[in-house]
Chains A and B, each alone.
Chain A
Amino acid sequence: MTTEKIADRQIEFDEDGFLANREDWTEELAQELAYMEDVGQLTDKHWKVIRFMQAEYDEKGDAPSIRKLNKESGVSTKELYQLFPKGPAKKAAKIAGLPKPKGCI
């Protein structure tokens, strides 16, 4: 667990570096996290992915895989990698304020 000061607020992160408390999440914080992750200014496309991730998480209890994002969010895998370079599933989950995707066993 670590705490960081972001935009004048104390924000707690879990051992994977993901938001510890979902209640801390705001759209402004998401933008700050996006800068920290080298994703830059969030566009409508980014937001579409972030909202989809949050809805999926609320329904299923885990963040969706890239395959699911590709199939159901209407954003292609190639675009996902352009939007969230190096690991869209993990990065988008982090910016969306969700825990690290469990992935699979």
Chain B
Amino acid sequence: MKQLLILGAGTAGTMMLNKLSRALDPKDWQLTIIDKDPNHIYQPGLLFIPFGMYSVDDIIKPKSDFFPGKAKVIFSEMKVIKPVKQQVELENGDILHYDFLILATGSEIRPDEIEGMTEDLWRKSIFDFYTIEGAVALQNYLDKWEGGKMVINIAEMPIKCPVAPLEFTFLADDYFRKKGIREKVEISFVTPLDAAFTKPIAARELGGFLKNRGVKVVTDFNIGRVDNEEKKIVSWDEREVDFDLLVTIPTNMGNDVIKRSGMGDELNFVPTDKHTLQSKEWPNIFVIGDATDLPSSKAGSVAHFESEILFENLMAAINGEELSASFDGHANCFIESGDGKGLLIDFNYDTEPLPGKFPIPKVGPFSLLKETRMNHLGKLGFKWVYWNLLLKGKDLPMESSMSMAGKVFPEEIPA
């Protein structure tokens, strides 16, 4: 019996398990998935928790709901991966052998990477919303907050879901407005980037959104430390921003098991071929989702597009064939803009987000890079799609490669 191990049963690992269990003959292949946490968190829903739009129950389900019957499931922390021996060691010392390995251990926030972040003010005046604990603590805080200086800070790039901090800012503006305290809140968006977003056309559009909402934008700010006494963040070049409430998107890193196994870069992301999704070092290891070092967004939609490519290439590798499927970096993200509206962006390695219609050219129903109510409904609908189609590895009405159909070319966009 051959062994195929999937490490991590989050978005990407669960999708791959479902796809592979349908394709591999159980007489020849034992499929095993390992995760430390028995609960699956719908991470895009974390954005809505601080504003009381979703409750914790909306975004947690038992992982077992999404596993096919045939797979072996192990709930345990992984201690170390030994690629030379083709083994994975669990917390209790058990050793599993593999013929092929899929790494899907994701990325996580590391507030401890920033001096002073996890000291006196942590979860008192400093919150994250990338974890359930952080998002819930922030909700409780916002519920009682009467206003002051709110600072949203991205510590360093890359972060998963790079639009989430912008969405948070738009939703916060809307939340304070509806609460009648918008004029009592000064909102600053403090980023290490040189604009609101990484890609120029989208950055211009989204930067305009921040301006219209009266949000102060501070760019090129690389946080060096948090001053807990004076309540300010200080950059490496000694610029300072005061806060009453700091919403941080701390450094994102791959799990420490990657570090313990000596398989990652300086952020514990695994060097991966950006087209085939094969590990650069080990031909029988494939990497998917946030765990890779690809120059693509770290997002559930990206993991979905990757899953189709990875599936084809893994099957080819199993059959001793050439890896012919090629990932193009396709990402597709709804951006919540507040007041029941949203945007949609669709892009890949080579093409930045452009305006237009999606998925059907000229028709939509979604509009690219434009604020509409329909896009907001798409964002809310994504939760259903995620639980019912995406995790189960079913097809979505989208191609894994990005299409230019329906997009307006950059030279046609007025500056």
Q: Which residues of A contact B (CB under 8 A)?
A: 62, 65-68, 71-72, 77-78, 80-81, 85-87, 102-105
Contacts and interface: CB of A to CB of B under 8 A. Distances in A.
B302 to A, nearest CB: 10
A105 B297 contact: yes
Given A66-B222, A67-B156, A68-B266, A78 B236 contact: yes
B65 interface: no
A86 B219 CA distance: 11
Nearest to A81: B236
Contacts of A72: 266
Interface centre among B193, B198, B236, B331 (most CB of A within 10 A): B236
Contacts of B224: 77-78
Contacts of A66: 156, 222
List of 10 A-B pairs having minimum Cβ-Cβ separation, nearest first: A104-B158, A104-B157, A81-B236, A71-B266, A68-B266, A105-B297, A67-B266, A81-B237, A86-B237, A105-B198
Given A87-B220, A105-B199, 11 more contacts: A66-B222, A67-B156, A67-B267, A72-B266, A77-B224, A78-B236, A86-B237, A104-B157, A104-B162, A105-B162, A105-B295
B265 interface: yes
A102 to B, nearest CB: 7
Nearest to A80: B236
A103 B193 CA distance: 8
B266 A85 contact: no
Interface string B202-235: 0000000000000000001010100000000000
Given A67-B266, A71-B266, A77-B224, A103 B198 contact: yes
A62 B349 CA distance: 14
A87 B219 CA distance: 11
Contacts of A102: 295
B296 interface: yes
Given A81-B236, A86-B237, A104 B295 contact: yes
A30 B296 CA distance: 32
Contacts of B157: 65, 103-104
A61 B351 CA distance: 19
